A = this chain, B = another copy of it.
Amino acid sequence: MTDSKTEYKAKKTADSKAACETEPKKSASKSDSRATSSKTAKLPSKENFSEWYHELLMMAEIVDNRYPVKGMCVWFPFGFAIKKNVYGIIRELLDPDHQETQFPLMIPENEFMKEAQHIKGFEDEVYWVTHGGQSPLEVKLALRPTSETAIYPMFKLWIRSHADLPLRIYQIVNTFRYETKHTRPLIRLREITSFKEAHTVHATWEEAAEQVEVAIQRYSEFYRRLAIPFLVSRRPSWDKFPGADYTIAIDVIMPDGKTLQVGTAHHLGSTFAKTYEITYEAEDGEQKLVSQTCYGISERCIAALISVHGDDKGLKLPWCVAPTQVVIVPILLGDKEKVLEVSRNIESLLAAAHIRVKLDTSDERPGAKFYKWEMLGVPIRLEVGPRDIEKGVVTLVRRDGVKKAVPMEGLKDAILKEADELQTALYARASQFSEEKVKGVVSIEEARAQTEVGVALVPWCGEVDCGHQLETQVEANMLGEPQYQSFTDAACAVCGKLTGKRTYMARQY
């Protein structure tokens, strides 16, 4: 599973502009190395989103895109630390009623080829292992693009009776897709390093439908914690996951107005159950086919996190995922020993309260330190100088620019309060941007104009023909019907029939 088919049809026009495009680079020169050079480089303005994004990934040490295979990146330690915190939230949200597991990466060709609809969706994107050492393998092995065909033959063995249901598992694994389109770090990869895919099995179609709803609620909570606003829509029938009855997707509006699909949940009905013969003995003794769902999130959530919040100075990390939540910069004037002592005391105080704190005692000047920690998105900076100490305060600077003197007394609580307010401010700012980027339109012309800058909400009667015409004429993708909203009647932008339905349309990553 899990990105719905949509992902594979991002428009060529949009993609060909990509500044983030990668090609195999055999030997990057030492001079453009890691943080060292970045200290002197300047981050492009976020106005030039594509360049900004690409540069920021290097300068903030998220991923290194110089690995010599196109579409495969190295996680820098700092990027990895963010990822660990972000996926920690996913685990926290799933663990109460899901069990974490791990399935093999390789899928034998015969198992992989069993589900016809599904394989049609993936066959052009599968990496094949054909040799072990010098010898050709008897059975070719696919690297999972998603794990239905690895997991479901085991579900057949694991599930015997209604007592085994519902079954809810997930795994966080690397998956592979031979993308022929432009690749882009964290967004369109050939190795997705951190694919969280959940797979659930239920006695009835209705219970599976409820589970899809639960999945979307969990994902919504996940993105709320990251202070990222999102759209929820039901993908049109021609864009659902290969083999699914339907697909609900979560999209984030990126700074350039294009949308990024950052989560999907699929109702699989009994399609795979039939193919892989997954049945259970019902309470009445009858053998019945199970109903299934799957839902997933990839490191695109990190791409969204970086893109939605960051600014011209670098990352802006929400408190909950920041590897360093508070940095202390001592201003070494006057009685330096005293300044250091107070700084160390604050460090101990905050560490004891389980705040991820760093005291920066490096040789850099304070200005260089501010620059560095802003680039890394640290939510709160404390400046401790002799004057602050005299007044019994520290200078607190939030990553959103808010600056104030805070009394030493009650410092910890003051910091936690500022962290809360920063989170609220982050979310408010992002929501305002996101809301401004969505606009209701009535005609194809308006939709075309709106999708140049953001997301159009278009009246659509729901007919497949009208949908295809919309995509062709607007030259944008249909994200699908907004969920949890109702609308007054309006004329379908194609056929003119009155309808209460709408669809989001956008250019997609």
**B-binding residues in A (CB < 8 A):** 24, 28, 30, 33-34, 36, 64, 66-69, 72-77, 80-81, 84, 99-108, 111, 123-134, 139, 141, 143, 150, 153-154, 156-158, 160-161, 164, 169, 173-174, 176, 178, 180, 191, 193
Contacts and interface: CB of A to CB of B under 8 A. Distances in A.
Contacts of A128: 129-132
Listed from nearest, the 7 A-B pairs whose CB atoms lie closest are A132-B178, A77-B99, A72-B104, A124-B133, A75-B102, A128-B131, A130-B130
**Which DSSP category, helix, strand, loop or mixed, fits chain A's interface?**
mixed
A127 B69 CA distance: 17
A275 to B, nearest CB: 14
Contacts of A33: 157-158, 160
Given A69-B104, A102-B193, A191-B104, A34 B158 contact: yes
Nearest to A133: B124
Given A28-B157, A30-B156, A77 B101 contact: yes
Contact of A103 (B36, B66, B74): B74
A101 B127 contact: no
Contacts of A133: 123-126, 178, 180
B178 A74 contact: no
B100 A76 contact: no
A143 B129 contact: yes
Contacts of A108: 24, 68-69
B69 A141 contact: yes
A81 B100 contact: yes
Given A130-B130, A178-B133, A154 B123 contact: no
Given A133-B124, A154-B66, A157-B66, A106 B72 contact: yes
A68 B101 contact: no
Nearest to A73: B104
Contact of A74 (B134, B154, B160): B154
Contacts of A132: 125-128, 178, 180
B74 A106 contact: no
